[in-house]
Amino acid sequence: MKINRKKTRRINVGSVPIGDGAPVAIQSMTTTDTRDIEATVSQIESLATVGCEIIRLAVVDMEAAEAVGKIRLRSPIPIVADIHFDYHLALKVLDGAIDAVRINPGNIGNQNKVRAIVDRCRDRGIPIRIGVNAGSLENDLLERYGHPTPEAMVESALGHVHLLEKENFHDIKISLKASNVPDTIDAYTLMSERCDYPLHIGVSEAGPLLSGTVKSSVGLGYLLANGIGDTIRVSLAADPAEEVKVAWGILKSLGLRSRGVNIIACPTCGRLEIDVVGIAQRVEERLAHISETMDVSILGCVVNGIGEGKEADLGIAGGQGVGIYFENGEVVKKIKDVEIEEFIIAKVEERVEKMRKEGIDPNANPLKNGLPMHPAMGGAR
């Protein structure tokens, strides 16, 4: 399948390009109190380690606004300040180090207040994200449409866009999120037809880890497969690190990005003679720190395992007390089944060390199934 991404305008959030064919960037949001600088920096660093590329911070008052600039100076990734209603907070964060602001111009106040923010953003080259959520639409739109329809969300967003365009400002990206997957898909599809601004896609308030992952994967996967989306956030009621991991999983499954170890494991069945589920889960967790691209198979059937995992860089097919270790589809040696977990981890780390010594680009390896890959992979900036 070839994904033809829609051509959108290019903006830059710090060092991360958004739109116009740039790799789909992964975002999350801190759960710490922004006023707690140490805790917030620590969480940002942890999220960057698992592949977060842009982070958003809630700016609830002037103390938080003052903290943002200090946090940005220590952050390894660009920061977006999330601001509602009070334009003074936007002006404050724009006085310091910041990479983007998220506002709804319509709830900031009169056009003079919007102009003050736009002028400051223009002077500093800072883009603005317009964020529309189904749960917070303007009353007049709700009265006219009856409920938060995709059409109402798009009209709201375009109204906010118009306020910025009146000031001749175009460094904009747009989000239109709903917790309902079909509405989210329809809203982004309609917006994609109506403008060429880059789109930040997500399913709002998707839910806990399991159900939220399903909803986000279906909604964002559909949009991305149809070429819609320049940056994404998976919104989960869970540790934000899980948001980043799921986002990477969605992009990797579509062949849009590549990062880290991809575990290929067979489903459970009555023929399994090794603990495929336990081994696969533990290996994935223990190798989560690796950013180099690699396919690793952990399969429970010696007869079919090598064939099923032949596209992997390396792997194990286990059964009847023995594991068959293979590389690039070729059998290398037999090992005891009790050694499988430690053996496969050691082999992965050995290969990663070799890649680093030889200066091999860790994230530019094309997927072996022929899916199209963007030339800038992984932590591309």
Cβ 61 vs Cβ 32: under 8 Å:
no
Query: For residues 125 and 361, what is the distance between their CA atoms, to the nearest angstrom?
Result: 31
Does residue 364 register a pLDDT over 90?
A: no
Q: What confidence tier does 128 reach under pLDDT thresholds 50, 70, 90? A: very high
pLDDT-derived band of residue 376, with 50, 70 and 90 as boundaries?
Answer: very low
Any idea which of 50-59, 113-122, 127-136, 358-367 has the lowest mean pLDDT?
Answer: 358-367
CATH superfamily of 11-253: Dihydropteroate synthase-like (3.20.20.20)
| Inter-residue contact 26 to 247 (CB < 8 Å) | yes
Tens of pLDDT along 173-205? 999 988 899 999 999 999 999 999 999 999 987
CA 286 to the chain's CA centroid: 21
pLDDT tens per residue, range 86-123: 999 999 999 999 999 998 877 787 889 989 999 999 99
State the Cα–Cα distance between residues 77 and 48, nearest whole angstrom: 7
- Beta strands at 16-18 and 11-13: parallel, antiparallel or unpaired: antiparallel
**pLDDT of 266:** 80
What are the pLDDT digits (tens) for 279-338?
999 999 899 888 889 999 988 875 556 666 677 899 888 877 788 888 887 888 888 878
The two three-digit tokens of residue 276, written as one number: 């495929």
Q: For 40-93, write each residue's pLDDT tens digit.
A: 999 999 999 999 999 999 999 999 999 999 999 999 999 999 998 899 999 999
- Please give the order of strands across the beta sheet that includes 314-319: 261-265, 294-299, 314-319, 322-327, 330-336
Tally of CA atoms within 13 A in the half-sphere of 24 that contains its CB:
34
Is the pTM value of this prediction over 0.85? Answer: yes
Whether pLDDT at 378 is above 60: no
All CATH 3.30.413.10 domain ranges of the chain, comma separated, are 261-357
Q: Is 251 left (phi over 0), alpha (psi -120 to 50) or beta?
A: alpha
Top pLDDT among 374 and 42 is at 42
19 against 133, higher pLDDT: 19
- Binding site residue list for [4Fe-4S] cluster: 266, 269, 301, 308
Distance set, CA 214 to CA 178, 211, 249, 292, 363 (Å): 15, 5, 12, 26, 26
Whole-number Å distance between alpha carbons of 325 and 31: 42
What pLDDT is recorded for position 366?
37
* % of the chain at pLDDT higher than 70: 92
Largest CA distance in the chain: 75
Percent helix, strand, coil in the chain (nearest 5)?
45, 20, 40
Q: For the domain 261-357, what is the CATH superfamily, name and number? A: Sulfite Reductase Hemoprotein, domain 1 (3.30.413.10)
Contacts of 98 (CB under 8 A, 6+ apart): 68, 69, 72, 79, 80, 81, 126
Are the CB atoms for 204 and 155 separated by under 8 Å?
no
Sequence ranges of the binding site: 266, 269, 301, 308
pLDDT recorded at residue 11? 98
More confident residue, 296 or 206: 296
**Region(s) of the chain under CATH 3.20.20.20:** 11-253
Q: What was the pLDDT predicted at 309? A: 67
Average pLDDT, the chain: 88
Taking 50 as the threshold, does the pLDDT of residue 381 lie above it?
A: no
Q: Do 3 and 372 contact (CB within 8 A), yes or no?
A: yes
